[in-house]
Structure 1
Amino acid sequence: MDSRFASIVDEIYEAAFIPEKWLRVLDLISATADCAGSTMFLAARAKTHFIASDCLLRTYEDCVKAGVMELSQNPRASRMLAKNHPGFITDTDVLSLEEIETHPMYRLGLRPTGFGWGTGTFVPLINGDMLVFSCEKYFDKGPVTPAGVSALDELRPHLARSAAISARVSFERMRAAIASLAEIGLPAFAVDGACRQLAENNLVDELRQYVSHGAFNTVQFRDRKADRLFRNAIRSIDRDGPGTSRSFIAYRPEDDLPPAVIHVLPIRKNAHDIFGRAEAVVVANLPNPVRHPNADILNNIFDLTPAQSRVARSLLSGKTIQETASELKLSRETVKSHLDAVFVKTGTHRQSDLVILLSSLLIRSG
């Protein structure tokens, strides 16, 4: 093993435990095959997550948004997968030159940005996901050569082992984070983009009266309205803008039990957590005696403006709309307008529900 190859292998294994290093690895394997850049993305998931070399990022983002990277729309990927070959395969191995010239992935996605030739491989992960490494070459430099494929094949076993470790490390980090919430008295669990539960802490039994599980461990709230808000929150995580409210109240329809307040905390995706299966952490607690929550909490969790936060805190203290208007030196109509905005941002519809929701932000102790 020459020193340059050994150095690349070292960096591949470094990425197993330091996920931020995967972008550097993608650049290294691209150079090995005389390609401009590489991507790494997960297939057969509720959602597609990927990281890419800087030169490819915008191109792949556009292709993913257009849907041409999905297996059903991407003949290069689907035919590579069908071959079940434990190595890299070039586009010319699975597509005719006419297909390369005419398929939307090339014609509308890769070619306009200068690309047009590539090679890739599928790596199955122990959790059932499929990882794809893809190297793209500029069109004017011609197809990926057999020598380039051979070099990538030498690196592939190391890429596969390192990726498997990264996936496991990511899962253990997620479990540790969920478990830590139990230490401050919060039942919590993690879900993926299809609302499937992936991990939970030891307090989650407190939620059994509010939550059930369907096929494939899919989380379902017994309260239909809460379930609808929950699913909307998960669907809205990657949309532009604030999206649907991520905090709501869940009742137990059959019993006269205290309502649980549910907070859906999105896990934001970036380059270093492609292996994280969770899309959100769901945290729950029961209401506490009403006190004044910190204004910063209201602003940060619900994106309230300062004026909306002042109105919410005043109403939470038990004041009426008229008393709040007098205290804040605002008209009754202005207070009602702020209150309507607070209802929208918190997913509530009545002042009593708002009080329950906001009081839950004062975390239980003891």
Structure 2
Amino acid sequence: MISIRDLAPAIEKLQDAAMLGEGWADALESIARAGGARGVVLMHNRNRKLVAAVTNNEIKDAVGQYLSGGAPKNSRQLRVSHDVGSGFRIDQDDYSSEEIARDPYYQEFLRPIGFGWHANARISMENSDEIAIGFKRDLKLGPYEDADRQALNLLLPHIRFSARVAQYVFEAETRGLVRGLLGRGNPLLEFDGWGRVRREHGTFDMSGPLQIAAGRARTADPAEQRNFDELVLRAANARQLPGAILIHDRTGSRFVFQVLPVRGRARDVFHATTAVGLLISQPKRHAVNFNRDLAIELFSLSAREAEVVGLICQGRSLREISGTLGVVPDTVRYHLKSIFEKTGTHRQVDLVALFAGLASALTTLVR
């Protein structure tokens, strides 16, 4: 039986997570306990397919396995249909006992890991995008009953309110970051968790290094597309890794594209921007201010590699660098090869251009 007494502190934790943009796992843990469940999943479904989720820790691995394709298809996503105005649905609303006994999703995936029974509700629906919440109960506790449904329905308005707050907070934070970056006058893109363009600011025309078509950013040089996509996804998805890449327009002019994650584990579930990308035009070629820690963080450079980059940015030759570091020139060339691979550049001049653009963007961010 669900404890009504436990609902109030669980609701408070959920609303804190929504307003702060963090602490979702702990909040959902409290919601799970209050709702008589082992697992709770906030789901983003598109065209009735799960594309992103936030969970409590108990069910995190199972959801990850499902998202990666390591489980039978969830028949519930095709069978269960309800609107935003309705409340929770439980297994018995949509399945007979015989159907559950034959269903691979229940029998081959959920039951072997100890989960057995559902209570689901829709939080919001926009076109083909659905936000929903699912409670998964321990198999040994038996199915949810009508009394449980009534208790969970007391929770539902607060969950929906928290979802609206979360969307507002995430959008407000993104607008603030975007305004700060746009102060430089460079065009900027907002990405979702799949690397699709949510919004564009400034001009991305056919003569530039990037064009926007069908929600995707395309590089003018097709050979640069793969590295560009990987850069965006590293920042936009769960890894939240900042980075930058050197790209070119059709005339060969160089540009730096810097991507910054917009942090918050539940952003993608709530259709929010998860990364922003700034196009920095015509980076300068002369010596630049070099931020060693930023170079190591963005490109996973070793301390010695960062030292080499810093000296190159000062305009030093390979012979001068070898003398400064007390190594033979071939050792410097070995480090430089690794640096080129990690930064996606091919020449020293492009390396300097990359860090010139990063130094300029960093100055803008800290103003």
Distance 1:361 1:61 in 2: 34
Q: Which residue of 2 aligns with 1:56?
A: 59
Please say if residues 10 and 27 of structure 2, whose CA atoms lie closer than 8 Å, have aligned partners that are also in contact.
yes
Distance 1:20 1:266 in 2: 15
Distance 2:240 2:126 in 1: 35
Secondary structure of the 1:48 match is strand
Please say if residues 170 and 267 of structure 2, whose CA atoms lie closer than 8 Å, have aligned partners that are also in contact.
no
Which residue identity does 2:274 align to in structure 1? E
Q: Which residue of 2 aligns with 1:357?
A: 354
Deviations 1:264-289 (A, max 9, x none): 23445535774353332212223134
Secondary structure of the 1:66 match is coil
Which residue identity does 1:53 align to in structure 2? N
Which residue identity does 1:359 align to in structure 2? A
Deviations 1:49-99 (A, max 9, x none): 322223222332333333548xxx210122113788822122233234355
The 3 A distance-change label for structure 1 pair 127 and 352 is: farther
Q: Which residue of 1 aligns with 2:275?
A: 280
Distance 1:307 1:12 in 2: 45
* TM-score normalised by structure 2 residue count: 0.81
Larger strand share, 1 or 2:
2
Please say if residues 209 and 247 of structure 2, whose CA atoms lie closer than 8 Å, have aligned partners that are also in contact.
yes
The 3 A distance-change label for structure 1 pair 37 and 332 is: same
Instruction: Indicate yes or no: 2:328 matched with 1:325.
Output: no
Of 33, 36, 41, the residue aligned with 1:34 is 36
Please say if residues 82 and 122 of structure 2, whose CA atoms lie closer than 8 Å, have aligned partners that are also in contact.
no
Instruction: Indicate yes or no: 2:206 matched with 1:211.
Output: no
Q: Which residue of 2 aligns with 1:295?
A: 292
Instruction: Indicate yes or no: 2:253 matched with 1:222.
Output: no
* TM-score normalised by structure 1 residue count: 0.81
Of 17, 25, 37, the residue aligned with 2:19 is 17
The 3 A distance-change label for structure 1 pair 47 and 247 is: farther
The 3 A distance-change label for structure 1 pair 112 and 13 is: same
Secondary structure of the 2:358 match is coil
Distance 1:86 1:67 in 2: 31
Instruction: Indicate yes or no: 2:69 matched with 1:66.
Output: yes
Distance 2:296 2:7 in 1: 51
Q: Which residue of 2 aligns with 1:336?
A: 333
Distance 2:302 2:269 in 1: 33
Distance 1:242 1:8 in 2: 28
Which residue identity does 1:293 align to in structure 2? F
Distance 2:260 2:50 in 1: 18
Uncovered stretches (5+) of structure 1, i.e. residues with no partner: none
Please say if residues 36 and 138 of structure 1, whose CA atoms lie closer than 8 Å, have aligned partners that are also in contact.
yes
Q: Which residue of 2 aligns with 1:158?
A: 158
Uncovered stretches (5+) of structure 2, i.e. residues with no partner: none
* Superposition deviation, residue 135 in structure 1: 0.7
Please say if residues 21 and 265 of structure 2, whose CA atoms lie closer than 8 Å, have aligned partners that are also in contact.
no
Please say if residues 62 and 109 of structure 1, whose CA atoms lie closer than 8 Å, have aligned partners that are also in contact.
no
**Deviates most, 336-345 or 153-162:** 153-162
Q: Which residue of 1 aligns with 2:265?
A: 270
Deviations 1:293-335 (A, max 9, x none): 1222221222211111122222333333333222221122211
Which residue identity does 1:196 align to in structure 2? R
The 3 A distance-change label for structure 1 pair 22 and 265 is: closer
Secondary structure of the 1:361 match is helix
The 3 A distance-change label for structure 1 pair 170 and 349 is: same
